[in-house]
């Protein structure tokens, strides 16, 4: 019987040692941090709900071309009403919590089920370093303000520094490996 008691005490001690760090940690949550991720139209995507609870800020990275993109959308939004959806000369700007910012090379209006705006950090015939600079800024970001035509249109919590950028990069690497198989 003493042998079984010794085993029980040893097991309890191990459990206590393993559980103590978890009990000591405080779980930190942020009420305005909500995201989804996936692959859509050849891009890795991570979308965050903005602090207004309605607008979605959708970051993308092209799987084959590495174009960094951002879409800001919501249903029934009049931002693009009576605007030409073929316009591509309206840059979108991201300003991060540390004051750094980056602007898209191209941008315009999105209409359909969701309305909004979009930005691409480089195109087929332009310097891909624009997309690289966008991702570098995102790598350090925990939050961002999106502006379009001189107006702030969305504030978004991006989670821990590098979370969004790492999700995009990890997805792109995994998808490229799938394509090579």
In a domain, 134, yes or no: yes
What share of the chain has pLDDT > 70, as a percent? 82
Residue 126: per-residue pLDDT: 77
For helices 163-180 and 129-139, the axis angle rounded to 10 degrees is 130
**Is position 26 within any domain?**
no
Report the pLDDT averaged over residues 122-135: 84
* 109, part of any domain: yes
Least confident of 26-40, 85-99, 151-165: 26-40
Is the pLDDT assigned to residue 129 strictly greater than 60? Answer: yes
**Closest to 92 in 3D by CA, of 80, 77, 108:** 108
Total tally of structural domains belonging to the chain = 1
Residue 58 included in any domain: yes
What is the reported pTM?
A: 0.80
- Supply the pLDDT for residue 136: 94
Is residue 130 situated within a structural domain? yes
Residue 108 pLDDT more than 80?
yes
User: Residue 147 corresponds to which tokens in the numbers above?
Assistant: 């502006």
In which domain, by residue range, is 99 found?
35-180
Q: What is the pLDDT of residue 84?
A: 86
pLDDT of residue 18: 34
Q: Do the beta carbons of residue 152 and residue 145 sit within 8 Å?
A: yes
Residue 80 located in a structural domain:
yes
Q: Are 57 and 50 in contact (CB under 8 A)?
A: yes
CA–CA distances in Å: residue 101 to residues 21, 93, 124, 136, 181: 39, 7, 23, 11, 38
């Amino acid at each position: 019987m003493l042998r079984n008691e010794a085993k029980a005490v040893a097991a309890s001690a191990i459990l206590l040692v393993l559980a103590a760090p978890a009990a000591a940690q405080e779980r930190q949550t942020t009420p305005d941090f909500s995201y989804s991720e996936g692959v859509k139209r050849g891009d890795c995507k991570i979308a965050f709900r903005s602090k207004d609870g309605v607008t979605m800020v959708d970051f993308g990275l092209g799987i084959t071309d590495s174009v960094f993109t951002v879409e800001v959308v919501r249903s029934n939004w009049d931002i693009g009403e009576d605007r030409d959806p073929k316009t591509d000369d309206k840059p979108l700007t991201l300003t991060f919590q540390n004051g750094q910012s980056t602007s898209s090379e191209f941008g315009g209006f999105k209409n359909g089920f969701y309305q909004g705006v979009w930005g691409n950090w480089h195109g087929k015939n332009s310097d891909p370093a624009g997309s690289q600079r966008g991702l570098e800024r995102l790598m350090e970001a925990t939050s961002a303000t999106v502006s379009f035509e001189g107006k702030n249109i969305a504030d978004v919590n991006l989670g821990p520094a590098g979370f969004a950028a790492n999700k995009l990069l990890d997805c792109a690497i995994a998808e490229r490996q799938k394509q090579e198989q």
